[in-house]
Structure 1
Amino acid sequence: MGRFEEYIEEIALKPSDGGRFEVTVDGELVYSKHMTGRFPEEDELVRLVGERLRA
C-alpha cells in the first residue's frame, strides 16, 4: 500500500467476529472475505484500493 502513501491518512485494524476480513476506503466497502469466502491476493487488494482512491 506504500504506493498510495500520499492518499492514505490512516490504516486501522478493528476486531470483529466470525472471521471477517473487510477493507473499506472512505467508508465504502471494497473487499469482504465474508462475501467472497477467501482472503484477497495482494495485487487484487492494491487494485481495488487504487480504483476507489481514483474514483
Structure 2
Amino acid sequence: MPKASSLAASIHQALGIDVDVMVGARGQFDVVADEALVFSKQQEQRFPEADEIIDALRSLPS
C-alpha cells in the first residue's frame, strides 16, 4: 500500500482532495473518482504516475 498512500498524499497536496485508500484484490490498483474509473493497473499493465492521475482528476467535470 505504499504506492497508494504516496499517490493519495500527492493528490491531497495538489488538489486538496481527501482520498480514501481501500484494499482490493491482490494486484489490483484502481483509481476511482465519483464512481468513474480514472485508472486501472490491470488495463494499463503498470502503476500510474501521480501527475497523470492529478491531470485526469483536474479534467473531470465538477
TM-score normalized by structure 1?
0.75
How do 1:1-55 and structure 2 match up within 5 A? 1=11, 2-5=13-16, 8=17, 10-52=18-60, 55=61
Runs of 4+ in 1 over 6 A off after TM superposition: none
Q: CA deviation at 1:3?
A: 2.8
- Per the alignment, in what secondary structure is the counterpart of residue 39 of structure 2? strand
More helix by share: 2
Partners in 2 of 1:18 and 1:36 — Cα distance?
16
Query: What count of residue pairs does the alignment treat as equivalent?
Result: 50
Identity %, equivalent residues: 30
- Per the alignment, in what secondary structure is the counterpart of residue 15 of structure 1? coil
Partners in 2 of 1:3 and 1:41 — Cα distance?
13
Partners in 2 of 1:3 and 1:44 — Cα distance?
12
Superposed CA RMSD: 1.3
